[in-house]
Amino acid sequence: MRYYYSAEAIRAAEEPLLAALPEGVLMRRAAYGLATAIARELGAVAGKNVCAVVGSGDNGGDALWAATFLRRRGAGASAVLLNPDKAHRKALAAFLRAGGRIVETVPAATDLVIDGVVGISGSGPLRPNAAEVFDAVDKAGIPVVAVDLPSGVDGGTGTADGPHVTPAVTVTFGGLKPVHALRDCGRVELVDIGLDLPPSPLAAFEARDVAARWPVPGPDDDKYSQGVTGVMAGSATYPGAAVLCTGAAVAVTSGMVRYAGSAAQQVLSQWPEVIATPGHATAGRVQAWVVGPGLGTDETAAAALCFALETDVPVLVDADGLTMLAAHTDLVADRRAATVLTPHAGEFARLAGSPPGQDRIADTRRLADRLGVTVLLKGNVTVIAEPGGPVYLNVAGQSWAATAGSGDVLSGIMGALLAAGLPSGEAAAAAAFVHSRAAEMSARDPGPAPVPTSSSRILAHLRPALGSIL
């Protein structure tokens, strides 16, 4: 599991170390890790030139100490002091003793810039003098290594309201911060400085977490015990939604998939193993329902949604189901079984009364708590919040999944996991992980260079994606 920590949690974990260690040891420990990461980025240190852009906080001290270590290994080192009177005194003294130079602007011959302007507690855009420095760095094409986080970017929300640093690498200490998932920070390297951090309520699944939870049939399992997924999706207008959603459920489970709806003929032509009926009244027993993709919003669709929500099994509501639910959120108020809503930003706005703002984590958690359901807010960084529980992030790292019908595939995966008995938050996190991996694999098939993909291709790559994980 990859955990993300607030600035307050990191500061609290640092306090015992700061009290136990001699003054400055923890900063130099962090700076040595920073210098090591910079050396890897440079490839060779001797003969290279680095320039630290230094603010007034501890990040400025980290940057000066790292530049000092690199100078001692043969690099040329310079520093732009944005606030000379507030620069870290001991780090600055060591830097000057090692032969570092104070400059007004980043020298043209610089091979790499160290962003030591703002730390994890900072907020707001770069101030004019810093913005001017990094504008020149960008125009010169000099790579930047950010200390802890890119300056000008909010550490908790990943938002940037003005000038900010765009690094090639971000080196952070002790624990990851939300910004490292929510914003493109370049390659993120985590330096262990000895903090004792407990698991955080903000986390992201890794492949091993998916593998540990994925339902794998045992010797005594049969098609029923592995979970029966029910799907109510598709219509005369959108039969493809039914095909994609049921196909995804078939691809990720060895149990059974039941389809109830008007696209039964199209579904069976693609997936003959599906048990298809014209409506929910004859669908038979299931362990979870997926309702909404391409379903429409007429009376028949509304009856299907109400039927599913009145059952005692987990229900995933997506697409048209969310449109109907937005007008009748009381339908989920007293459900005892898990309910999962999977909105994109527009659907989220209809459910919550306003679109997700800069703090997508807080907004998603707020909606989950208000409705008493698990909410999966779609996006390049998917946010999954359980009511009163943890929040999971899934960082796709690309937008190949942003294609028509992709959400139908995701719903089918998640429905199968709910039917197999996974808790709703874990089912959503695991499904999002597999879905994004399948999207990336589909974009890179047949070669390493990515090409445009489609939901049908994502569906076709679900089993290879699972194979790479399991």
Count other C-beta atoms under 10 Å from residue 235's C-beta. Answer: 20
Q: Find the helix or strand (DSSP H, E) in which 54 lies.
A: strand 49-54
Binding residues are 58-62, 115, 119-125, 148, 151, 241, 294, 344, 378-382, 407-408
CB 316 within 8 A of CB 407: no
286 three-class SS: coil
Query: Distance (Å, rounded) from C-alpha 329 to C-alpha 367?
Result: 11
Binding residues for K(+) are 59, 115, 151
Phi, psi of 190 (to 5 degrees): -105, 125
Query: Distance (Å, rounded) from C-alpha 464 to C-alpha 10?
Result: 38
Mark 403-414 as b/e (b = at least 16 C-beta within 10 Å): bebbbbbbbbbb
Tokens of 159: 């938002």
C-alpha to C-alpha distances, 394 to 223, 353, 385, 415, 454, nearest whole angstrom: 30, 24, 12, 18, 20
Binding residues for (6S)-NADPHX are 58-62, 119-125, 148, 241, 294, 344, 408
What residue type is assigned to position 265 of the chain? Q
Count other C-beta atoms under 10 Å from residue 454's C-beta. Answer: 16
C-alpha to C-alpha distances, 447 to 354, 441, 461, nearest whole angstrom: 42, 10, 14
User: Cis omega (within 30 of 0) on the bond before 125?
Assistant: no
Binding residues for AMP are 378-382, 407
Sign (positive or negative) of CA dihedral 458, 460, 464, 470: positive
